[in-house]
Amino acid sequence: MSYGMKTFYNGTSFDRGEIPSHDNDTFFQALLDAISAGWRVCSYFGIPHAAGATLYCIMSARDGNGTLGISSTSVGRSFPSLAAACPQLHLFEREIAEQCLVRPEGHPWFKPVRFQKPLCAGEGFWSDSDGGGLLPGVMDFYRVEGDEVHEVAVGPVHAGIIEPGHFRFQCHGEEVFHLEIAHGFQHRGIERALIGGPAPRTMHQMETIAGDTTIGHGQAYCMNMETLGGVFAPPRAETVRGIALELERLANHTGDLGAIAGDVGYLPTSSFCGRIRGDFLNMTALLCGSRFGRGLLRPGGIGYDCDAAIADELYTKLQAARKDLTGAVQLLWDTPSVMARLEETGTVTKVDAREIGMVGPAARACGLNRDVRRDHPFGIFRMSQIPVVTATTCDVAARTLLRWLEAERSLDFIAEQVRHLPRGGGYRNPTKSIAPDRCAVSLTEGWRGEICHVALTDAQGRFERYKIVDPSFHNWNGLGLALRNQQISDFPLCNKSFNLSYCGFDL
Amino acid sequence: MTNSIIHILLALTMPPLLLGVIGKTKAAFAGRVGAPFLQPYYDIIRLLRKGSVFSTTTSWVFRAGPIVALATTAVAALLIPFGAHQSPISFDGDMILYAYLFALGRFFTMAAALDTGSSFEGMGSAREATFSCLAEPTLFFALITLSRLSGSYSLSGMLINISFGVWLNTGAALLLLVCGMFIVLLAENCRIPFDDPNTHLELTMIHEVMVLDHSGPALAIIQYGAALKLFVLGAFFVHLALPYATGNSLIDWGLFVISMLELAVVIGMVESAMARLRLVRVPQLLVAAAILAAFSTLLVIR
């Protein structure tokens, strides 16, 4: 069953004429049917036109064959909201309303997403609500009324050195009834800037969608450019990309393990992991000169070759870091006071996680077995699989444990790949101009989870729309749910266990 | 007279060193070099040279908070004997004054926090009020036990009385007391596992969140006051746990300084070895401390 969608595989492109365009009823009914059959929404966005917008929905099948589906419909100034029935659509519908000025009728939570200007001319739905233009964080927050209920507002300026985001807690004493999160402080207009691309600077913009996910987003962009340009990255380049992706995962998971330990006030692991994270970043620097992997990935291959000397050095450093990391993390499991703090804190049930469409380690910690590297393999992962790890307790302890288990798998993967780098064949094929009137969809598994890039080219071979979905877009709601009926003092710990991106969300 | 001068000099100059020693110990456990021992002094001097920012919504209470907190702690420092020496001020019943001087300082800190109208500071005050209520019984049970053991109603009398001889006779009661008082020492001074003095996470703080709006010299006064409080409560605890005394005045001062540094190292080790408690568990541990102290009272009264 494809529910009226065109099915395809990750990292491929097809003519835009092949995308089925249904009438509204068929499209929305098929969307509902597919979601109830277990399909998951990867991306749902609109392209504004004179009378409304064309909506595209990209979904991932549950069949285990790596099937993706796409369909579209053209709507007028409004379209029926499905958010009440399918909570995973709720942010996507708000985003469509904000970007394309079409109203999701009956949306239960109709508020701005990024407080951005629409992609087309016209007045947004909220622009006059505050009188001073659209300012991030200025909206009607959900309120709990009552004598003993109090509201705590945190951010956008935080005590730590983190990105800006605004959090509203409705509390009863120390207990949190509800947490609402407002974003948009980091909005840079990346999607708008990409219209009419690609330009030479596009690759650099991709690398900075979320600075800590340079490789993840870079890989998705390269895949799109390669399939649109009809070139292939050489095997050697694919292997190095895979190594870089896993190094990025290692560095961030290590940093998170340390930060979680730091939040519960457990210093040894916190200090050690801070240093070991630097070791992993330095390994990425070994590959390309940048600790965050800037300049490593280029359409058609990689920017810098990885010769035998570098591979040997990488392997040696990896083994040393593995030993250090194992010791540092083992301290966590061996300290009862740490485990007491992590267990049964910030629980998101498996049902909720599936309903809101969570992805990545946060979803796997709730027992959802989803990982793009296995479900929709790309690059080196088509040849060499990494086992998917899941946890069952759905709490901070599960997210912590999962990070460590994933780090172990990544260490194994890199150690194996770096000793068997494919030889010869150059490391970068020349790129060509991209094909007109095509659609390309690429999914990668960044360290936070599924990254989805969709490129739609116009008749001149320019981007008519380049849609980016960062895993944080799926997961921020999970953090809100994790805080329900929790102690407000546990918020920083829950937040750290998710460690979502602000700029990846704000684009 | 000489002893009184040394007493006041130590109380004025030594407290931040304890924080430096704790920091260095924690750094050693974490495999770092750590800040210099004298870093807390540098911090206080740096803050004293800065200007202050006062919110226009605050009143005189906000400004009085740090000063009253420091003043009460400083007076308490005169009541407590350091090592085997009489305290500069001592009279029957000074233990009650000692306990409520801290309560007065805490009241003003909380009032200053509430004065800002910030939701964080309100939360911090609520936590501090709850936890300090639960910590108070332990202190009073300890004072009852000590006064029963020594027959004295002044702090100097009851604390200097503790010696290894007393430990041999009523070791069980004193052991219970040491456990209870150590818990209270950590809780009152906002150390791990009750509070994390180094955290920047305003939602998890207890004491630190109440002083978020203070800046410059006021913050320096608060930091110095906190160090002094650790010193004063630490001196009380050292009497119970490490009652060294030789009879030679100078050697006894040296022993006192060494015991205080030992205490700082022990606190640093505790902080390195465990994580913070979940906030809902804090009252449970404080009640446990009160029960330990109550049992020690039972043991000496029977």
Contact at CB, B272 and A268, closer than 8 angstroms = yes
Interface A-B, measured as beta-carbon pairs within 8 A, has a size of: 88
CA distance B261 to chain A (A): 21
- Comparing CA positions, the residue from A248, A244, A269 lying closest to residue A418 is A244
Distance (Å, whole) CA A260 – CA A255: 9
CB A112 within 8 A of CB A184: yes
CB A391 within 8 A of CB A365: yes
CA distance A320 to chain B (A): 17
Write the CB contacts of A200 (distance below 8 Å, at least 6 apart in sequence): none
Q: Which residues of B touch A (CB under 8 A)?
A: 26, 29-32, 119-120, 122-123, 126, 192-193, 196, 198-204, 271-281
A169: helix, strand or coil: strand
Instruction: Give A-chain residues touching B277 at CB under 8 angstroms.
Output: 337, 340-341
If residue A225 lies in a helix (H) or strand (E), which one and from where to where?
helix A214-229
CATH topology agreement for domains A1-113 and A192-469: no
Longest Cα pair distance anywhere in chain A, in angstroms?
Answer: 72
CA distance A267 to chain B (A): 6
- Comparing CA positions, the residue from A142, A23, A43, A36 lying closest to residue A86 is A36
Within 10 A of A161 (CB to CB), how many other CB atoms are there?
Answer: 6
Q: What are phi and psi for residue A41, nearest 5 degrees?
A: -80, 120
CA distance B256 to chain A (A): 29
CA distance A340 to chain B (A): 8
A192-469: CATH architecture: Orthogonal Bundle (1.10)
Taking domain A1-113, whether its CATH number is 3.30.460.80 is answered by yes
Q: What are phi and psi for residue A118, nearest 5 degrees?
A: -65, 160
Distance (Å, whole) CA B121 – CA A270: 27
Q: Does A395 touch chain B (CB under 8 A)?
A: no
A381: helix, strand or coil: helix
The sign of the CA dihedral A262, A267, A268, A271 is positive
CB A6 within 8 A of CB A70: yes
Of B192, B203, B273, the CB nearest to A488: B203
Determine the straight-line distance between the first and last CA of chain A, rounded to whole angstroms: 34
Mutant choice from B274, B277, B279, B285 vs A, greatest count of A C-beta within 10 A = B274
Cis peptide before A436 (omega within 30 of 0): no
Q: Does A491 touch chain B (CB under 8 A)?
A: yes
CB A139 within 8 A of CB A182: yes
Within 10 A of A27 (CB to CB), how many other CB atoms are there?
Answer: 23
Average pLDDT value over all residues in chain B? 90
- The two three-digit tokens of residue A238, written as one number: 């694919």
- The two three-digit tokens of residue B259, written as one number: 């015991």
Instruction: Give B-chain residues touching A496 at CB under 8 angstroms.
Output: none
- Would you state the pLDDT for residue B106? 92
One DSSP character per residue, A409-460 reads HHHHHHHHHHHSPPP-S-SBPPP-PPPSSEEEEEEEEETTEEEEEEEEE-TT
- Would you state the pLDDT for residue B119? 84
Q: Encode burial over A91-115: b for 16+ CB neighbours within 10 A, e otherwise.
A: bbbbbbbbbbbbbbeebeebbbbbb
What is the helix, strand, coil percentage profile of chain A, to 5? 40, 20, 40
Q: A 143-172 residues with CB below 8 A of B? A: 150-154, 159-160
Within 10 A of B291 (CB to CB), how many other CB atoms are there?
Answer: 15
Instruction: Give A-chain residues touching B281 at CB under 8 angstroms.
Output: 340
Distance (Å, whole) CA A495 – CA A308: 41
Q: What is the pLDDT along chain B (302 residues), one digit of tens a residue?
A: 888 999 999 999 999 999 999 999 999 988 889 899 999 999 999 999 999 988 888 999 999 999 999 999 999 999 999 888 889 999 998 999 998 999 999 999 999 999 998 888 888 898 989 998 999 999 999 999 999 988 889 999 888 888 888 888 888 999 999 999 999 999 988 888 888 887 777 788 888 888 888 999 999 999 999 999 999 999 999 988 888 888 888 898 999 999 999 999 999 999 888 888 888 889 999 999 999 999 999 999 87
Q: DSSP label at A373?
A: H
Determine the straight-line distance between the first and last CA of chain B, rounded to whole angstroms: 40
- Would you state the pLDDT for residue A133? 58
Write the CB contacts of B250 (distance below 8 Å, at least 6 apart in sequence): none
- Comparing CA positions, the residue from B182, B174, B180 lying closest to residue B148 is B174
pLDDT one-digit tens code per residue, A223-274: 999 999 888 888 888 899 999 999 999 999 999 999 999 888 888 898 899 9
Could you state, in order of their start, the residue ranges of all structural domains in chain A?
1-113, 192-469
Instruction: Give A-chain residues touching B196 at CB under 8 angstroms.
Output: 265
DSSP-derived pairing of the beta strands A301-302 and A175-182: unpaired
CA distance A261 to chain B (A): 8
CB A44 within 8 A of CB A55: yes
Contact at CB, A152 and B203, closer than 8 angstroms = yes
SS3 sequence, chain B?
CHHHHHHHHHHHHCHHHHHHHHHHHHHHHCCCCCCCCCHHHHHHHHHHCCCCCCCCCCCHHHHHHHHHHHHHHHHHHHHCCCCCCCCCCCCCCHHHHHHHHHHHHHHHHHHHHHHCCCHHHHHHHHHHHHHHHHHHHHHHHHHHHHHHHHCCCCHHHHHHCCCHHHHHHCHHHHHHHHHHHHHHHHHHCCCCCCCCCCCCCCCCCCCHHHHCCCCHHHHHHHHHHHHHHHHHHHHHHHHHHCCCCCCCHHHHHHHHHHHHHHHHHHHHHHHHHCCCCCHHHHHHHHHHHHHHHHHHHHHHHC
Instruction: Give B-chain residues touching A150 at CB under 8 angstroms.
Output: 119, 122
Contact at CB, A492 and B201, closer than 8 angstroms = yes
Distance (Å, whole) CA A153 – CA A139: 13
Chain B residue at shortest CA distance from A271: B30
- Would you state the pLDDT for residue A127? 66
Contact at CB, A341 and B276, closer than 8 angstroms = yes
Based on the number of CB atoms within 10 Å of its own CB, is A188 exposed (0-12), middle (13-18) or buried (19 or more)? middle
Spell out, as residue ranges, where chain A has pLDDT lower than 50.
130
- Would you state the pLDDT for residue B83? 84
- The two three-digit tokens of residue A271, written as one number: 């200090």
Q: DSSP label at A384?
A: S
